[in-house]
């Protein structure tokens, strides 16, 4: 069954190379939303896009850019892996709302309003007080809706996430997180947020990053699938997908960049300790993208029907992107 599915991973950030692209293909991944920037600003973002253009040139037999949902179907037909660009912070637009349309024209499809900290747009999940979406943030959401860029609130605080759900005229995503009822990490989301997300037509991508899972690297496939089933009951089967948050072959300097950016001289452990200053040990049943069939089999074993598994593994992402990536008609 897995080979016939459209499989979409709602987020990865790896040290991209041919071997990793081959793993994606071997795992049957049709499309992956890749983080091209965290704290990088406009010029640095353009350089990242240039680097990806070179990767598309060098590995054209394996990967292709995704500029619309039609390209996802084409990737499946051609047996290639589609690559969709995303940003995990709003630094790529700096303080200029005009950059949203320009970045969208360069195929930046998804953007988080904040990454852990307070930004110009909203509040991150590690701040002591969540002041919600800012005045600028309201304008940015409106503009993202207009040009067809997806709002992502994966690293945002509770109030900011609820604000974004209410403000956005189009469904938003939480591309890589889990229910806090399953594991109480600041990055994970409350039932109130998840219920509101489902009711608004949005989507949650389940994270396989061990720090977001109960028992960390020792979380079992059965435990993961139980979490999926419970969340389906809460949000509805049409509003859940996968967003592995897989980070492969990245040095510690990248982990430091993700957490620290340019704002801190000291290593930011977030809610963790010094033991969290390294990449976590991978799950036994999901070491890399070649293990995607294990998720399909686990969901089937948990009692999901074939059609439900197809939705979770990719069709729900596909439907949301089909609605959200088209520019609004004037």
Instruction: Decide if 83 is inside a domain.
Output: yes
Instruction: Decide if 128 is inside a domain.
Output: yes
For the whole model, what pTM was predicted?
0.96
- The number of folded domains in the chain is 1
Predicted confidence at residue 307, as pLDDT, reads: 98
Instruction: Decide if 330 is inside a domain.
Output: no
Three-state DSSP class for residue 79: coil
- Cα atoms found within 13 Å of the Cα of residue 263, Cβ hemisphere only: 14
Instruction: Decide if 107 is inside a domain.
Output: yes
Instruction: Decide if 275 is inside a domain.
Output: yes
pLDDT tens per residue across span 143-200: 999 999 999 999 999 999 999 999 999 999 999 999 999 999 999 999 999 999 999 9
pLDDT tens per residue across span 21-36: 999 999 999 999 999 9
Instruction: Decide if 178 is inside a domain.
Output: yes
Structural domain of 112: 2-324
Instruction: Decide if 329 is inside a domain.
Output: no
Q: Label residue 204 by pLDDT band (50, 70, 90).
A: very high
Predicted confidence at residue 266, as pLDDT, reads: 83
Q: Which residues contact 97 (CB under 8 A, 6 or more apart)?
A: 136, 139, 140, 143
Q: Which token pair is 112? A: 């988080």
């Amino acid at each position: 069954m897995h080979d016939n599915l459209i499989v979409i991973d709602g987020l990865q950030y790896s040290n991209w190379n041919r071997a990793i692209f081959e793993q994606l293909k071997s795992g049957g991944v049709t499309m992956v939303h890749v983080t091209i920037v965290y704290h990088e600003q406009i010029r640095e973002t353009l350089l990242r896009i240039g680097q990806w253009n070179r990767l598309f040139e060098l590995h054209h037999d394996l990967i292709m850019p995704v500029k619309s949902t039609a390209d996802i179907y084409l990737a499946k037909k051609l047996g290639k892996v589609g690559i969709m660009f995303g940003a995990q912070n709003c630094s790529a637009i700096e303080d200029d709302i005009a950059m949203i349309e320009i970045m969208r024209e360069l195929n930046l499809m998804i953007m988080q309003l904040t990454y852990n900290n307070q930004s110009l747009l909203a509040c991150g999940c590690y701040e002591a007080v969540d002041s919600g979406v800012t005045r600028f943030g309201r304008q940015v959401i409106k503009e993202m809706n207009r040009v067809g860029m997806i709002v992502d609130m994966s690293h945002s605080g509770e109030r900011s996430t609820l604000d974004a759900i209410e403000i956005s005229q189009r469904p938003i995503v939480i591309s890589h997180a889990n229910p806090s009822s399953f594991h109480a990490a600041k990055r994970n989301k409350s039932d109130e947020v998840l219920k509101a997300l489902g009711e608004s037509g949005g989507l949650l991508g389940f994270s396989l990053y061990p720090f977001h899972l109960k028992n960390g690297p020792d979380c079992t496939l059965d435990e993961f699938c139980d979490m999926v089933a419970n969340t389906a009951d809460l949000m509805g089967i049409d509003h859940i997908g996968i967003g592995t948050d897989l980070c492969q072959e990245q040095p510690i300097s990248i982990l430091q960049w993700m957490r620290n950016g340019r704002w801190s001289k000291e290593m930011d452990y977030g809610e963790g300790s010094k033991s969290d200053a390294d990449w976590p040990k991978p799950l036994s049943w999901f070491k890399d993208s070649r293990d995607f069939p294990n998720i399909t089999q686990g969901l089937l074993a948990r009692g999901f029907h074939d059609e439900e598994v197809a939705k979770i593994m990719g069709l729900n992402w596909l439907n949301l992107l089909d609605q959200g990536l088209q520019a609004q008609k004037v």
